[in-house]
Amino acid sequence: MRRQLMDLPGPRWKKGKDGKNFAALAATNPMSTIVAELQASLRDAEAVAILSGDGKDAILAVGAHQAALLNRAAFGRAVDNAGDEKLWFQLGPEEMFFLCHALRCITVESENKKQMGEGELWDLLTSTSEPFPEMYKAYEHLRLKNWVVRSGLQYGADFVAYRHHPALVHSEFAVIVVPEGKMFGARCGRMKVWPDLLCALRASGSVAKTLLFLTISNMNCEVRSSDCLEQLIVHERMINRWIPQQCREQQDKPHREEAHRDEQRQKQCREEAIREEQEDTREGVVFSYWGVILSFTILSSLLVYKLKL
């Protein structure tokens, strides 16, 4: 296995109707622009997300314009609610906290309509999900790089990352989050044994995705508050299968080129030797011809001399 970028395939754009070019469509509508529009619109609308009973997700009520932007930016999932003017979106914990903490474009309320501060919301989310700090840090890391991040549960991963909207392109990375540091406790043992790594690698390869490890390093800070997010460091590692045939071909390529050059040199030497031999042969024929002529001339002169005598 190699912990480096190898010959990774490019984005696999989906096929649109009537030959529509989704790559060009994504290029003219970058995700950064869409998210910026969503951020401004939610701020202006003073959007409020209401926590569910278990505190694991939230429901966001928005107007038609905000709903369109949420769909384009691939945040949350639309919820059908007939007979209501508002449109509703279900947000996962990472999505909710990202809109609240990173983009600061929504506020969050509990079921009893009590507004929750960022610290209170952090305490709730970490109490309901122990790995929330590292999961959110990984989500935020990718989202701030304008990747669309979705749950990777069906692929045996924590997340999957898309270059643009999932309706336009297939996901490129299956993301595994690996915490490091004593503050994360027993969760640091994740992916430390070969069978776990091989299973994740096989699963991602079977669905044409590159396995991406996001290692979250802790600089001895407490994860009891959202202030720790500034101290967490994310390391990206792409894991690929080592294919012996490809590796051997890559290593043998210089040797094959050198052997080809030697063969060409030998061919040139043989051709030069043949030309020299042919030239020597022609010179020998010419010399023999003139020798015959000279001998005939001498014999003729001797015969004439004898006749005169």
23-37, 175-189, 255-269, range with the lowest pLDDT: 255-269
Angle at 201 between CA 200 and CA 202, to 5 degrees: 95
Rounded CA gap, 180 and 197, in Å?
Answer: 16
Residue 201: name the closest of 228, 229, 237 by CA: 237
Residue 170: name the closest of 182, 181, 161, 183 by CA: 161
The beta strand positions in the chain, using DSSP E, are 47-51, 58-62, 77-79, 87-91, 106-109, 115-116, 148-151, 159-162, 173-180, 210-217, 233-239
Angle at 200 between CA 194 and CA 206, to 5 degrees: 130
pLDDT value at residue 3: 41
179-209 pLDDT tens trace: 987 777 778 777 778 888 888 888 888 888 9
Mean pLDDT of all residues in the chain?
82
Average pLDDT of span 144-169 = 95
What distances in angstroms separate CA 216 from CA 136, 148, 180, one per listed residue? 10, 19, 6
Tokens read off for 260: 């080809």
pTM: predicted TM-score of the whole model, two decimal places: 0.76
Q: How confident is the model at residue 43 (pLDDT cuts 50, 70, 90)?
A: very high
268 has pLDDT over 90: no
Domains of the chain: 16-129 (3.40.1170.20), 130-253 (3.40.1350.10)
Check: CB of residue 138 under 8 Å from CB of residue 151: no
Enumerate the active-site residues. 162, 170, 209
The beta strand positions in 32-123, using DSSP E, are 47-51, 58-62, 77-79, 87-91, 106-109, 115-116
138-149 pLDDT tens trace: 999 999 999 999
Average pLDDT of span 235-243 = 84
More confident residue, 289 or 265: 265
Check: CB of residue 124 under 8 Å from CB of residue 116: yes
pLDDT value at residue 284: 54
